[in-house]
Every structure is written in C-alpha cells, then in structure tokens.
Structure 1
C-alpha cells in the first residue's frame, strides 16, 4: 500500500460532485424516494417520467446541498498488516511495517496481533470464509504480511440535523428528498473511498468502465460490512472503529450497535480476485 496506518479525509479532500457520480439511482429513486413503476405503466413511459420529473429533482437537491453546504463527507481509511489462521484474521500494528528490520531480519519474532477477527465459513457451496482471501500465517515468510484495508465514512451530523429541521417545519416532501439523498450519498462516499483504495493498491487498470458495472461489483475484490452474512459479528465493529481512530471524524457506536452520525457506514476490504459477496 502507499502507506501503513490510517488517513483522515475531510470535505476539502473529497469532491462531492465526484461522489454524486457514484449514486445508486435505482436505490435512490425506488428505494428511498418511492418512485416505483406502476404495473400498468410501460417502461418507456416510466423512463420518460424519471427523466422529466425525477432527475430534475435530484439535480436541484444536488445543487442545493453544494451551495448551502448541507452534507459534510468525512472518511478515515487505512492499511493494516494481517495474516490469516483458519477462519480468523490477525491484525497487526502498522508500526511493525515501519520497523526497517521487520522484512529482513528472519530472527525477529512475529509480534502479537492488536486484534483478531473470526469469520463464519459456509457450510455448503464453496465453503468460503473471508479469512481465505488473505495470506495464511503458515505460508508467510519471516517479516511477510498481507494488507488489510478498512474504511469508515460519514456525511456528518448535519444530515440528521437538517433532516429534522425540515421535518419539524412540516416540509415532508423536502424531508423525504433530502433524507433519502443523504442516505445514498453516504453509500456513494463508501463506493468512492473503495475506488480510491483499489487505485492505491495498484488495481486502477482493472476498473470497470461504467457506474453500473461498479455497482455490480465488476472490480477486483470486495468490501464487507460487519452485521452482514459474511461477517455477522457486530461486536467487531467497535474494534474496527477503534483501530481506525474513527472518533477523529466524529464517528461512534452506541450500546445498541447504531453508528453515529446516522448516515455513516464502515467496511473491511478484500482485494483478492475471488473475493465477492457471499452468505455464510
């Protein structure tokens, strides 16, 4: 990786115009804004409705967010040394990679991990486990580690505050539009950050040509969020936030496992070519 450890990106480092290019419009228009195609309507008529009515709403809101500074994207991401052991992944202090002897002195003992994540394995099908996508401890040469990327992103507490302001003012339509767009913008920031990680790891030439292909995961590797089927243990998320130092971007997690600010998302990244979504 280009560096070991973590890096914070603030709104001055993140182009919201670029981030908007990663918006999943299907999830926004249908999932958040509820513009579903009526059964009796033709696809052509529905597409015309989206073009004439819904896209202009989106453009208006994008411009308003930019001009009134209504979303504050922040990211903390980084690269950690790791080694796999069975279904577990041991995470090591990035400082070990800054020790110039680590890669050359065969007599240095393997340091203790600073965290270990254990993942479930599929009971059938390909019997996949996230740990499979990383270098096994028993195959690692002295001083050799794999790279474990992680990210945490948010569009800031302004998203919650402004949405509440619209709701309290009985501006329910604006509330629906803004809230839905803030949710999907947080997802778009995650996609933007994951793209940055792939480029920094040297896979930029393998990038898909279109957003549709990005959203279909036609890139190298995958990202996973704790709580989902491949890594369901939510107790790992506070550990992840601590490793990243997510409090530097104001991100915390409460006892009910809810992230704060509300429009935030975290992920671990596997860059192995066979790493894709799966349920375990």
Structure 2
C-alpha cells in the first residue's frame, strides 16, 4: 500500500480537466473553446481566472490539503465476485468485491458484462491483480468555505468547493497514472495531459455507486482494505457518501479490453443471488439497488 499525505497541489494542478468546472456554474462548453463562445465566453473566462486565483491562494497558505491511499492485491474472479488474497501464495482469502452483471440486450452488444470479467478466473492458472484507491483534495475545504460565508462572500464559498472538486478529480488522474506505472504496463505510455483526460490509456477505474458497479455499499470493503479513514481523512457517511465531498474512490482494472459500461436494470433472480453472495437480507440489497430493479419489491 502507498499512502500520500499533504501531496503538493502544484503537482496535481496540471492534471485538471476544466470542462466539468464550468458545468458547476451552468455554463455549457468545453475548455478552452468555451472562452470563444459569444454568449458565455466572457463569464467563463472570469470564473476561470477567479478559480486560478483561489488555487494560487490555497497553495500559498496551505488551506487545502490532498491525501491519498492506493494498493494492489493478488486477485481472481469467482463468478461475479473478485477474490482478494493476502499474499502471492494466493492461499488465504483477504476479502471480496461483489459485482453485478448486465441483463438487457443492447444494440450491437453480444455479451453481458460484469466487472469480474476483467479479472482472470480462479481456475485459470493466471496470476492477476486488482487495485483500489481513495483520494481527496478537500481537507480544509469546509472550513475555508465557512470562512468566506461568514464574510458574506457566497461566491468564494462555492468556488472553494468547485476548486477542491477539480483538485480531487485531477489527483485521481495523477494517481491512476502512477498506479499504471507501478503495475508495469504504464511505463511507456507517453501520453500528454489531454490524452490522459481523454482516457487513452489501458485500464479503467470504476467507482462503487456508478453505472458499472451501482452498489454504494461496496465502498466499505475498499475503505477497510485501505484503512482510508486514517490514511486519507475521508469518511463514509451512513448513506455511503464520502466526506469531505471533494473525494474520489474506485478500483483499478488493468485488463487491456476493460472499459466502462452500465449494468442498468436487473431481475429479481440476480438480486437474490447477489444478496446471498454478500450475506445480506434481500430487503437491504433492494433498498440500495432500488434504481436498478426491474421489478417491484414485495
């Protein structure tokens, strides 16, 4: 495991994808072309400059801090589960991630994906791995935003959160680049920052609660494996949201054919089997996966 605390924000800054930043302010357009937009270009340039001024400030005074933890584990798939082992002997199970499988046919699609498909099966004889990470750039963000609100500067209070979010996402990008190099296959990528933002690299980093892995409760397993609360300062709320909000977590898959997908709607038989695999009551699983159910729970 690698733990990075108080990571230098200037090293993270070049990895920022600015396009989502403008959506925070309800301005449509991609960076940097948005600056040339006749309707929103001038306003977009102003908030961009304000954001960079605030970044300069938080770097100078240390009011925002970035922490991260990531690791790799020997792993093998067992159906739609991924087994993590304690060491390279692969004789003792450490933990499991539980995944779900697509059930609905899509145009041009010939298979039904599960994230477990991107890890070698337990009986394959291949030695495979899975990684996981938690990053934040939001340590101190709430305190700084509160300070601005007390000064009746709501604009800067909102800007703090927007800037922290951009740093956090950029830190996740930077960390993934490091992880691929640690893994071995990322040593000779030679990608520039635009290519990184466009995900031209091998592998994916899906997050629990998102389309390929819609069950938020899987975050608990990841946080326990990384001792994330102690190593990063990020906590999980009762609803499995991350606090502070400027945080990103997920898993690293290195399979060359891995890509993002949407699990979408699932029938009761899969949900029942999933509940059994997780050792949880069906009603609890149905609660967390309610947007994905293709049936009405009893």
Give ranges in structure 1 of 5+ residues lacking alignment: 1-5, 103-109
In structure 2, C-alpha distance between the alignment counterparts of 1:54 and 1:155, rounded to whole Å = 20
Whether 2:63 is the aligned partner of 1:70: answer yes
Report the Cα offset of residue 55 of structure 1: 3.6
Q: Is the CA contact 1:208–1:218 (under 8 Å) kept in the aligned structure 2? A: no
Report the Cα offset of residue 49 of structure 1: 2.6
Q: Is the CA contact 1:33–1:176 (under 8 Å) kept in the aligned structure 2? A: no
Q: CA RMSD in A?
A: 2.3
Whether 2:255 is the aligned partner of 1:263: answer no
Whether 2:112 is the aligned partner of 1:132: answer no
Report the Cα offset of residue 208 of structure 1: 6.0
In structure 2, C-alpha distance between the alignment counterparts of 1:70 and 1:122, rounded to whole Å = 44
Deviations 1:143-182 (A, max 9, x none): x631111100112430111112212321011112211111
Q: Is the CA contact 2:12–2:174 (under 8 Å) kept in the aligned structure 1? A: yes
RCO higher in structure (CA 8 A, sep ≥6): 1
Mean Cα deviation higher: 120-129 or 189-198:
120-129
Whether 2:18 is the aligned partner of 1:25: answer yes
Name the count of aligned residue pairs: 253
Match of 2:2 in 1: 7
Report the Cα offset of residue 32 of structure 1: 1.8
In structure 2, C-alpha distance between the alignment counterparts of 1:36 and 1:233, rounded to whole Å = 30
TM-score by length of 1: 0.82
Whether 2:158 is the aligned partner of 1:173: answer no
In the superposition, relative to structure 1, how do residues 237 and 52 fare at CA in structure 2: closer, same or farther (>3 Å)?
Answer: closer
Match of 2:181 in 1: 199
Match of 1:107 in 2: none
Query: Following TM superposition, where does structure 1 have runs of at least 4 consecutive aligned residues deviating by more than 6 angstroms?
Result: none
Whether 2:27 is the aligned partner of 1:35: answer yes
Give the alignment of 1:221-232 within 5 angstroms.
Answer: 221-232=203-214
Match of 1:252 in 2: 235
